A and B are shown apart, each in its own frame.
Chain A
Amino acid sequence: MDLNLALEELQFRDELRDWLRANVPHDWSEWREKPIEESFPYLRAWQRKLHEGRWAAVSWPKEYGGRSATLTQQAIFWEEMARVEAPPMANALGLGLIGPTIIAFGTEEQKKRFIPKILSAEEIWCQGFSEPNAGSDLASLQTEARLDGDHYVVNGQKVWTSYGWVGNWCELVVRTDSNVPKHKGLTVLLIDMRSPGVEVRPLRQMTGESEFNEMFFRDVRVPVENVLGKVNDGWNVAVSTLMHERGAYGARLHPLFKRNINRLIELSRKFQKNGCAAAQDPLTRQKLAQCYAEIEIMRMNQLRAFSRISATGAPGPEGSIQKVFWSELNQRLQQVAQEIFGPYGQLLGGDSHAVDNGIWSYGYLRTRGNTIEAGTSEVQRSIIGHFVLGLPKSY
């Protein structure tokens, strides 16, 4: 056990720091408040710049434009990006989830066709997994693809699609065989979102915004060469994507949580509680300290999980607790913020009395989604119970 950075980790960090010092835009704060539709070209340009420096997908193999970064280097990458308040990248799903899946399962032609444009943000990707009747029980999905000559014909509906409104391409899980057990009849298709019969509608969520979309497919024709992996092996392909979703994501979130708790501590000195500054109120101090500690533990759990993955090649049992841990912690943090702000906490962006222009009232509502998206807390606990502790499957 040695938590000091190794030489190649220090070199990685210093090279990144130098590059960021020269390249990180200084006007992001002016853009971040604007609707995503307006700032999206800005985010595309930023990703293109990162790609030119070979920083867009550090975890990817070198031959595909990455740096073959270790998990620790990936954690360093996100810590440094947060430290300089760098803008996010436009093609988040393409870089984080779908690109790695194409690299793992794609044909040489598919890799050549799709990978460069994922990196350059020329083509934005979205992910068509969940359906109105297939959420936690993803394998029961009903969107069907029927073979017709050298094309599949797709009919069905997807929901909770991030980046659907701007997506050029979609990783879509469909049913290609309904006469076999539900996990065995699925296939992953790469769909051009401009294909006739694709319709995208915004889905308004409880925060009032539309991060997600609904997607409708009516007789959409997809060439057979756009099957990712093998026909009827789509469950394995989809699970691989989900593993990326639940894996190193905690390392990206930790710096953001750290920034939030530091900001909250700062604000607690200005807000009054029980006749003194909230920072001096014994009960508030207890709650802030609890959040601070749990955010530190989130990082330690992550680093331990990384070491396990490096040693064994597979995510260790510690990895499985990360999603439950961060999502529920984030909700507790937002509740503590609300308690500190009192009635000011409810004020929305645009109100002159709102705290930090409403990011905390937004966060309070938005974090309700954390324990639902990317695997509900209930599903995660069942995964821990069955796959980690070896208890009998409960569903």
Chain B
Amino acid sequence: MEFGLSESQEFLKDSARKFFAGECPSVEMRRLMETGTSYDVALWSKLTEQGYTGIIFPEEYGGVGLGKVELMLLMEEAGRALLPGPFFSTVVLAGSVLEAVGTVTQKKKYLAPICRGEVRATVALVESTSSWNPRDVQLGATNGKLSGEKLFVTDAAIADFIIVVAHNGVFLVDSKARGLKISPMSGMDLTRKLYAVEFSNTPAEEIGGTKELARALDIATAALAAELVGGMQRTLDLTVEYAKTRKQFGKPIGMFQAVQHQCADMYLETESSRSAVYYAGWALEENSPDAPTAVSIAKMYASDAARTVGNRGIQIHGGMGFTWENDLHLYYRRAKASETAFGDATFHRERIARLVIDEGAVSAKHA
């Protein structure tokens, strides 16, 4: 048994960190967040050159064929850089849904262009009830046409197609389709734009049933938790650095236990989130029976931890932490958006309860 990363996994993580530091430093991230869609053509083609747009997809569709642990590592580094734009929506979310649900023909038509970096896409799931459970979806398709409204759809304005979860199937809508209205929602996270998407008799292509959706949503949920880990790590690094250099009463503030112990807690929360996320990635890769539980544990813990790590980081930075120019609030904003996306901690605790209290404990594989 080996919980450490393999050499190739370490290499992937290192090169991703260097790539994002070089191509998407804080200045560039801030430039993109001020744009309408946070999308940048040049950055996208560089992501494609790295193979990131096809990271977990089979080679027959032009993907790289790496595993879910590798996806977690990439998303962790993307989260550390607060990567703006539709990478999560297109690759992780739409890509995973297409892979899980679509036919071979559809995958060639829609997943392959994602791998090749030619298209942007997203998934529309949540409705006005704000439930992330596909079973609560009301919107339905009649004769291949969709009518209704989806909310909190990420990156919809830049998407070439939108995958829509209906109560009677999963559908794909072209962005130029009739009866499609996309309006921005002003979210707190400026790096990942949200939209309301309205369908009125909009033609749609059915790509599969909702039954296969669970695994794709689990992959996206775990990846979002991985992003949170990267954000926590960045917040921790910035905060520890600040606590070492900022002096008050003639001493670095990190010498005061009231500050130091909060840093220790930030570290504990970050590392524990990381353990849970890596395990979830492994469980998904192995199709382990406890994968759904592992994903919910990771998302539940990371959602709460990202918020408290942010709270502590801002507090320790004092007045500097409250300024616009300091990056901490940008991570804090992302943490709040990602906390609720795909179910907040309360949602996932209830899911864990259903899995381990109601259905009998499915414990970790070797427990």
Contacts A285-B353, A292-B356, A392-B252 given; does A303 touch B260 at CB 8 Å: no
Asked whether B263 is an interface residue with its Cβ less than 8 Å from the other chain, the reply is: yes
User: Which A residues lie at the B interface, using CB under 8 A?
Assistant: 1-6, 9, 72, 76, 79, 255, 258, 262, 265, 268, 279, 282, 285-286, 288-290, 292-294, 296-297, 299-301, 303-304, 306-308, 310-311, 317-318, 321, 324-325, 378, 380-382, 384-386, 388-395
Pairs A–B under 8 Å by Cβ, sample size 5 = A5-B366, A300-B278, A321-B268, A378-B257, A381-B264
Whether A385 contacts B264 by the Cβ 8 Å rule is: yes
Whether B3 contacts A299 by the Cβ 8 Å rule is: no
Whether B278 contacts A385 by the Cβ 8 Å rule is: no
- Which B residues are in CB contact (< 8 Å) with A317? 267, 271
| Residue of chain B at shortest CB distance from A391 | B254
Nearest CB of B to A380, in Å: 8
Whether B240 contacts A390 by the Cβ 8 Å rule is: yes
| Residue of chain B at shortest CB distance from A258 | B367
- Which B residues are in CB contact (< 8 Å) with A292? 352, 356, 361
**Chain B positions 258 through 283: 1 when the CB is less than 8 Å from some CB of chain A, otherwise 0:** 00110111011001100110110010
Whether A384 contacts B264 by the Cβ 8 Å rule is: yes
Asked whether B330 is an interface residue with its Cβ less than 8 Å from the other chain, the reply is: no
Asked whether B181 is an interface residue with its Cβ less than 8 Å from the other chain, the reply is: no
- Which A residues are in CB contact (< 8 Å) with B293? 296
Compute the total of residue contacts between A and B using a CB distance below 8 Å. 174
Whether B363 contacts A2 by the Cβ 8 Å rule is: no
Give A96 to B300 CA distance when docked, in angstroms: 35
- Which A residues are in CB contact (< 8 Å) with B357? 265, 268, 279, 285, 288-289
Nearest CB of A to B295, in Å: 11
Give A317 to B352 CA distance when docked, in angstroms: 29
A301 in complex: contacting residue of B256, B275, B349, CB < 8 Å: B275
Whether B264 contacts A79 by the Cβ 8 Å rule is: no
Whether A289 contacts B352 by the Cβ 8 Å rule is: yes
Contacts A262-B361, A325-B272, A391-B240 given; does A293 touch B1 at CB 8 Å: no
Contacts A285-B353, A293-B301 given; does A6 touch B260 at CB 8 Å: no
Whether A300 contacts B301 by the Cβ 8 Å rule is: no
| Residue of chain A at shortest CB distance from B293 | A296
B349 in complex: contacting residue of A290, A307, A390, CB < 8 Å: A290
Contacts A389-B267, A390-B244 given; does A286 touch B282 at CB 8 Å: no
Nearest CB of B to A309, in Å: 10
Contacts A299-B367, A388-B267 given; does A304 touch B252 at CB 8 Å: no
What are the 10 tightest A-B residue pairs by CB atom distance, in nearest-first order?
A307-B4, A385-B260, A391-B254, A300-B275, A289-B349, A384-B264, A285-B353, A381-B264, A289-B352, A381-B261
Whether A3 contacts B3 by the Cβ 8 Å rule is: yes
A389 in complex: contacting residue of B2, B264, B364, B367, CB < 8 Å: B264
A303 in complex: contacting residue of B1, B69, B240, B264, CB < 8 Å: B1
- Which A residues are in CB contact (< 8 Å) with B300? 289-290, 293
- Which B residues are in CB contact (< 8 Å) with A79? 366-367
Whether B364 contacts A1 by the Cβ 8 Å rule is: no
- Which B residues are in CB contact (< 8 Å) with A390? 240, 244
- Which A residues are in CB contact (< 8 Å) with B279? 3, 296, 300
Asked whether B32 is an interface residue with its Cβ less than 8 Å from the other chain, the reply is: no
